[in-house]
Homo-oligomer: A and B are copies of this chain.
Amino acid sequence: MKRSQRVGAICQILTEHPDKVFGLKYFCDKFSAAKSSISEDISDAKEAIRISGCGYIETISGASGGVKYVPDISEEKIKEIQEELCALLQENNRILGGGFLYTSDIMYNPAVVKGMAQIFAKKFRKSGADYVATVETKGIPLAFMTAQLLNIPSIVIRRETKISEGATVSINYFPGSSERLQKMSISKRAAAPGSKVLIIDDFMRGGGSIKGIAEIMSEVDIHVVGIGVAIASIEPKNKKVNEYFPILYLGEVNENTKEINASPNYLIF
């Protein structure tokens, strides 16, 4: 097997398993190669991945050490993703009336969601989160893909209690000022008390749902270590939560001119 083929295979295996540690021995066995050769291969793989610009290889020392692939994106790439998202969101046929926008095509499209998940994974990699949590439905793909990049499980909070969730803890909350009381419920099995959770959602207006998630988490003794939302509406200015990171801000939606005003959050990092 040629060196270039080994390096290619190492890059591919690491990329397929974000944040998973592979010992040198794994590659020695797989390629029937000496440790010294694999060490050189890995240093070439590091350079290869640095150049391709989607992440980097990290070396973990010690007995259980090895290398892992950390997905990462550059600040230019983040801006590019944000600007593409803005353009998508500003398409004038999204306006549904009542100031609502149709965004399911964005939130259910893996090619688009991946960019947003990469931004959140970069933002929250050091948060120490054990889980990524969201409330059903539209934020699930984004939360799930963020979890994948961070190599942790996700939790989905339900609107209604389901028999398949086992014993649950429920709360009632006000999603917005003028809306009626809503309910959310979490399975008691979803996460062990004392766990840390990152909240991810697709959209935030007043912050009622996010505050609801934070409340239900506190009921089951889970600590919130970060909040990321794909799109945050500028109005109302006073949100029910303070520290949150939107990828985009949504400004005025004009139903007459069909104009939608969206802008990137330039302060995300």
Contacts and interface: CB of A to CB of B under 8 A. Distances in A.
Interface of A: 1-13, 15-16, 30-31, 41, 44-45, 47-49, 51-52, 54, 96, 98, 100-105, 108-111, 113-114, 136-138, 140-141, 144-145, 147-148, 151, 153-156, 158, 163-166, 187, 189-190
Contacts of A101: 164
26 contacts: A1-B51, A2-B47, A4-B4, A4-B6, A4-B7, A4-B41, A7-B48, A8-B48, A8-B49, A9-B49, A12-B54, A16-B52, A30-B51, A31-B51, A100-B164, A101-B164, A102-B189, A105-B190, A108-B155, A109-B154, A110-B153, A111-B153, A113-B144, A137-B156, A141-B144, A145-B148
B105 A189 contact: yes
A5 B47 contact: yes
A109 B150 CA distance: 12
Contact of A12 (B15, B165, B166): B15
Contact of A96 (B5, B7, B44, B163): B163
A69 to B, nearest CB: 8
A253 to B, nearest CB: 13
Contact of A11 (B11, B51, B154): B11
Contacts of A7: 4-5, 7-8, 48
Contacts of A145: 110, 144, 148
Nearest to A101: B164
Contacts of A108: 144, 147, 153-156
Given A8-B48, A13-B52, A13-B54, A102 B166 contact: yes
Given A4-B3, A4-B4, A190-B104, A110 B154 contact: yes
Contacts of A49: 8-9, 12
A63 to B, nearest CB: 23
Contacts of A156: 104, 108, 137-138
Given A104-B189, A141-B154, 20 more contacts: A1-B51, A3-B4, A5-B48, A7-B7, A8-B11, A9-B52, A11-B15, A12-B15, A12-B54, A13-B52, A16-B54, A100-B164, A101-B164, A102-B164, A105-B189, A108-B156, A110-B144, A110-B147, A114-B148, A137-B140
